[in-house]
A and B are shown apart, each in its own frame.
Chain A
Amino acid sequence: MIFRSLLAALALMFVMSTATADQRWQRVEAVTQALDNRVPELEGLSLELPLVAEDGSSVSLSVSFTGSLEDGEHIEKIRLFAPGNPRPEVADITLGPLASPANIATRIRLSETQQVVALAITNQDRAFLTTRDVRVTVSGCLVGGGDASAMAMANPRLALAGSARPGQPVTVRSLINHPMETGLRPDGQADDSIEQQLVESLTATLNDEPVLTARFFTGTSANPYLQFQLTPEEEGELKLAWQDQKGEQMEASQAIKF
């Protein structure tokens, strides 16, 4: 009898542990705050990351929406979190209707083995959430001393992969050189002698119509990279503008021709 109840208790513990294993995101304050009482659907959003990250300071990540949406509904916000980092925020991306289908790729920093969380919210206030476990072999926090001379943005790059066609999605890739100094040191603490210096935002416009806005946090890798899909309806000029924490700006532009 005792044996049986023990077994039942063990089985229950097992079931509970597996049930909660995938709900770890519920205990991450930044995620619950971003959800703001919405109940996310766990199907539809897909997150691609390597199973093993050999270099935690730059881990390729892509997130795309593969589920179904209502007519006129589009993904409006994509937020990325790395809850095991000293600061969980990685990037917030706001997408306009031109930046569809929702398919974003970037490079992130991971300080240790953890579960990365992606959250998408539609313009009709539906939320989708997905997670992915990544094993980190070299912590992204093991960086050497920052190079103070390289603290400015440099060499912005923007290119289309393939040619643009009306109503057809084309992949846009962008990169800017910047060390993305977190101001944190390997123990995860802020060091007063090192000033945080990040590229704060990237804004994309097509003929001055907003396409996409990205906010980068400490979890975004040095030389922030962003790839997204653009579905242009007409020709024009795609313009990207980066802004760092000091308020400095840099721009790059690319003609969209059919």
Chain B
Amino acid sequence: MGNLFSDHLSAVLWAGALLGVVYGMIAQWSRFCLLRGLFNRWQQNDSRRLRAFALAMAVALVSSQWLAWQAGINLTRTPYHPGNLPVVALIVGGLLFGYGMALANACGARSLVLLGTGNLRSLLVLLVLGIAAYMTMSGVLAEFRLWMEDLYRPTLPATDLTLVTAPLGLDTETGRLVLAGLLSLALTAWALSSRAFRTSPRDWLGGLLIGLLVAAGWWITGVLGADDFDPVRLASLTFVAPVGDSLQYLMLSTGTSLRFGVTVVAGIVAGSFLVALLTREFVWQSFTSPGHNGRAIVGGFLMGVGGIMSIGCTLGQGLSGFSTLAISSFLALAGIVAGSRLALRFSVGSSASH
């Protein structure tokens, strides 16, 4: 592999672009989406898409933990494992993200996929999301974020779920193994308990493949990107900061270098565009009313702010963070689900059933 590319950095970038293309193709084909899963379940009692997400979580967890053990990647060296857990920021960020995702009718990753199919609404969502993410990360809202993070941040004995197994006398390695086994078994069992899901290859195959892509992301940054002196930052699929990074790269490319997340973002749009062309699903779409437009702007903004505070989005925390067994992922994911539920109750209602 090393001979194929001039150095490990360009290998990571090319592999990232390929990962994005594959994700974009699968996600467009399978309509993979946590929001749709939740809404279908709550509104129509159809849980197939939610089960697809659960299966993706199970596969991501098992494959990532296996890879980490095989290749010696320390998955606690990821942003999902802050030394002191910013509990309030994680939950509030999750709530904001979930609410915004429901308003905008798609999360960050889904918006990228939709953009490839000619959906101009998601272009606006992504622009606002990227700017809001940078505002929160390093701009006018950064102070607010730091204040929020410092409200309550206990130092726990572990940053991942081995917190639970350690008192039982299990060492970290065994603890992770047991947890990964139990959690993924439970998720897979629930997903497969539905006949409707088992007979819908779009859902089960989509979930399975996307789960594997999370581990592929860790492999790219953790194995391809390994270097004694200049290691690539460990990352997998995540779509709040990288959308902001992509906007920044478009504006400042002469003075900045390309990053893994940016090539993934570009790959996703390209991948879903390809599939949309092949299946003749490409169609230009725009807003139907000023209210629709406004919801997209507010939704994108809330996702950008919330996604940075909760260290990730539905995929970033829900799959990538979860696959590292990070405690922060459970808090953020709970916030995201609760936020979408609130949005369904208060501002989206039955209008989001399309």
Contacts and interface: CB of A to CB of B under 8 A. Distances in A.
Contact of A175 (B153, B229, B257): B229
Nearest to A226: B229
A146 interface: yes
A186 interface: yes
B254 A51 contact: yes
A138 B149 contact: no
Interface residues on B, range: 20 to 34
B173 interface: no
A84 to B, nearest CB: 15
A145 B248 contact: no
A17 B143 CA distance: 34
Given A144-B82, A145-B83, A135 B137 contact: no
Contacts of A52: 252, 255-256
A139 B142 CA distance: 10
B138 A142 contact: yes
A142 B142 contact: yes
A138 B82 contact: no
Q: Which of A135, A145, A225 has the most CB of B within 10 A?
A: A145
Contacts of B84: 144-145
Interface string A121-137: 00000000000000101
A86 to B, nearest CB: 16
A19 B254 CA distance: 27
Interface string A75-101: 000000000000000000000000000
A147 B83 CA distance: 5
A225 B228 CA distance: 11
A150 B155 CA distance: 14
Nearest to B233: A55
A50 interface: yes
A30 B228 CA distance: 34
B138 A137 contact: yes
Given A159-B228, A173-B229, A146 B83 contact: yes
A54 B228 contact: no
Q: Which of A147, A157, A225 has the most CB of B within 10 A?
A: A147
Contact of A225 (B229, B254, B257): B229
A54 B254 CA distance: 12
A50 B229 contact: no
Contact of B82 (A135, A137, A145, A175): A145
Contacts of B245: 54
A157 B149 contact: no
Interface string B130-150: 000010011000110010010
Contacts of A144: 82-84, 86, 149
Interface string B41-66: 00000000000000000000000000
B248 A54 contact: yes
Contacts of A135: 255
Contact of B229 (A138, A142, A157): A157
Nearest to A146: B83
Q: Which of A137, A139, A148, A159 has the most CB of B within 10 A?
A: A137
Contacts of A50: 255-257
A175 B228 contact: yes
Given A138-B138, A139-B142, 12 more contacts: A51-B255, A54-B248, A54-B256, A54-B259, A137-B134, A137-B138, A144-B84, A145-B83, A145-B153, A148-B83, A159-B229, A175-B229
Interface of A: 50-52, 54, 135, 137-139, 142, 144-150, 157, 159, 173, 175, 186, 225
25 contacts: A50-B255, A50-B257, A51-B255, A52-B256, A54-B245, A54-B248, A54-B257, A137-B134, A138-B137, A138-B138, A142-B142, A142-B146, A144-B82, A144-B83, A144-B86, A144-B149, A146-B83, A147-B83, A148-B83, A149-B83, A157-B229, A159-B229, A173-B228, A175-B229, A186-B146
Interface of B: 82-84, 86, 134, 137-138, 142-143, 146, 149, 153, 155, 228-229, 245, 248, 252, 254-257, 259
User: Across chains A and B, which 4 residue pairs bring their CB atoms closest together, nearest first?
Assistant: A51-B255, A52-B255, A147-B83, A138-B138
